Amino acid sequence: MLVPSNLYRPDPNRAIHIDGQLDDKLLSRLSPQILKLLAQNRKPITVYILDSPGGSTATARGILSMLRASDQDASPACRLITVVTSKAQSAAADLLSSGDYAIAYPGCSLLYHGVRTPGLIPALQPLTAERTSLLAHLLRLTNDAYAMELVKRAEGRFMFRFIMMRPEMRKIQDANPKKPKSDLECFIELTSPKLSESARKIFKKAQERYARYEPLLAEFTIKSKFGKRGKIAREEARQIKAIVDFEVADNKANPSWTFKDGGLSRLVEDFFLVAEYLESQQNERLKLWCKTLSRFALSKNELDEIERIPDEKGKNEALLAKVQPPVQPVWSFFVALCHALQEDENELSSTDAYWLGLIDEVIGEGGLATSRWFEEWQPDPQPPAPQVSQSAEA
C-alpha cells in the first residue's frame, strides 16, 4: 500500500504562488511569505507556478536562494516541491525543474530556451563586429553554464527513467543477440514514440549533437591525447589541431568547403562539443551513475566477482570498468539533451517533460512510474492471527 509522505505531496498550507512575470515586484511580494514559512519550521515548501511567461533569471535565482536558505541554527534547507498548474515558460520552467520533486498537471505548457540578449546585456549598444563576437561568446558560455545546471537538477529523474526501462531494453537486445543494440539505442527507440513532435525534434538535435562526439574522439583519439592534465592552453591547442585535421578530412569530398566560408564556425562548435564531452566523461556524477546502475547493468555473477575483490578501491575500479562503457553514451546523450534545450524555442507538454527528466510526476497519469511510488510503498499489514478460545484449547 502507499503511505503518503509530505516529501512528495504538495501542501497548500505551506506554499507560495507564482502567477505572471518573474520580476522584482514578484520577488518583493513573495519575500515576506518565504521568510515566514522558513521561520515556522523546516517542513517542505510547495511552489505553485500557476501561469508564468518567465522573466528575469535573477528573480528566479533570488526566489530559489531564499527558499533554500538555512537558519541561525544551521538547519538543513527545506525540501522544495514545485508544481505547475497551467504554464511555465523560460525562467519559470527552470524554476519548476529546480524542485526536489517537480510535478505538472496534465495539459500544461512548458517552454525551455537559451539565453536571450536583453536579459544578458540590458543596455545593449549598437552592434559592431567586436561587440557581436563578444556577445556570441557570452551567450554560448551562459547557455553552456545553464545546460550543466540543468544536468545537475534533472540527472536523477533521467536516471530513474533509464532504470525503469531496463526490462524493455533487455527484450530488444535479446531479440537480436547477434547484433544487439546499445543501451542508448534502446532507450531512444523506446522513448521517441512517447514524445510529441516538438519533443522529438529536441531528441533529434540531441542525437545529432551526440553523433558529433564519436567521430571527433574516435578518429583522432582525443580521449587518449588529452587524458593527461597539463597546461590548459596547451591541451586546448592540441584539441583545436585535432579538430582542424578532422574537419579537413571530413570535407575532402567538397572542393568548395573552406574555413573562411563556414568551416571556422564549425570548428568553434566542435571545440565546445569536445570540451563538453570531456567534462562529462571526467565528471564525478557519472561515476555515481555507474555505481547506482551497477545492480541493474551487471549480472549476479559479475557483481559477485567484483564483491570478491579484497580492497574497496579495486572494487570501484572494476565496477567502473564494466559499467562505464554502456552508461557513458547514455550520460553523454543526456548532457547533449540539456544543451539542445538551450537552443531555439522548445515547447513541451507535461508528458514530454516527464520523459525528458525535467519533472518527476504528471498528476493523474498512473501509467507513468514515479520515484514517489517506491518511497511511499510499504507492505500491507498482516491480518491478526485468529484467536483460539480456551475451550478449543482444552
Task: Provide CATH code, domain 1-114+346-380.
Answer: 3.90.226.10
- Contact 104/47 with Cβ under 8 angstroms? no
Q: Which of 16, 17, 20, 15 is nearest to 89 (CA)?
A: 20
pLDDT tens for 319-375 read: 888 888 878 788 888 988 998 998 889 999 999 999 999 999 999 998 899 999 989
Whether residue 377 is predicted with pLDDT greater than 50 in this model: the reply is yes
The SS3 call for residue 391 is helix
For strands 345-349 and 109-113, give the pairing.
antiparallel
pLDDT for res 132: 66
How far is Cα of residue 367 from the mean position of the Cα atoms in its chain? 22
pLDDT for res 332: 83
pLDDT tens for 10-51 read: 999 999 999 999 999 999 999 999 999 999 999 999 999 999
> Residue 200: which pLDDT band, with cuts at 50, 70 and 90?
very high
The conformation of residue 150, written as its DSSP 8-state character, comes to H
E strand segments, the chain: 15-19, 45-52, 80-89, 101-104, 109-113, 345-349, 361-362
- Contact 271/216 with Cβ under 8 angstroms? no
pLDDT for res 117: 57
- Contact 82/95 with Cβ under 8 angstroms? yes
The predicted model gives 159-170 an average pLDDT of 89
The SS3 call for residue 251 is coil
- Residue 83's beta-bridge partner residues? 48, 103
pLDDT tens for 104-162 read: 999 999 999 876 655 445 555 666 666 666 666 666 667 777 888 888 889 889 988 98
The conformation of residue 56, written as its DSSP 8-state character, comes to -
> What are the two backbone dihedrals, phi and then psi, of residue 349, each rounded to the nearest 5 degrees?
-90, 175
C-alpha cell, 300 = 549476479
The predicted model gives 227-253 an average pLDDT of 80
- Contact 21/55 with Cβ under 8 angstroms? yes
Q: What is the pTM of this model?
A: 0.82
The predicted model gives 66-92 an average pLDDT of 95
pLDDT for res 217: 64
- Contact 16/33 with Cβ under 8 angstroms? yes
Report how far apart the first and last C-alpha atoms of the chain are (Å, whole number): 39
pLDDT for res 223: 44
Contacts of 372 (CB under 8 A, 6+ apart): 5, 8, 101, 360, 361
Of 204 and 134, the structure prediction assigns the larger pLDDT to 204
pLDDT tens for 177-192 read: 888 899 899 999 999 9
pLDDT tens for 215-227 read: 776 654 444 444 4
> Residue 193: which pLDDT band, with cuts at 50, 70 and 90?
very high
The conformation of residue 54, written as its DSSP 8-state character, comes to -
Calpha distance 383→305 (Å, rounded): 41
pLDDT for res 225: 45
Whether residue 94 is predicted with pLDDT greater than 90 in this model: the reply is yes
pLDDT for res 221: 45
pLDDT tens for 247-297 read: 898 889 998 999 888 888 888 878 877 776 677 666 677 777 788 777 777
pLDDT for res 166: 86
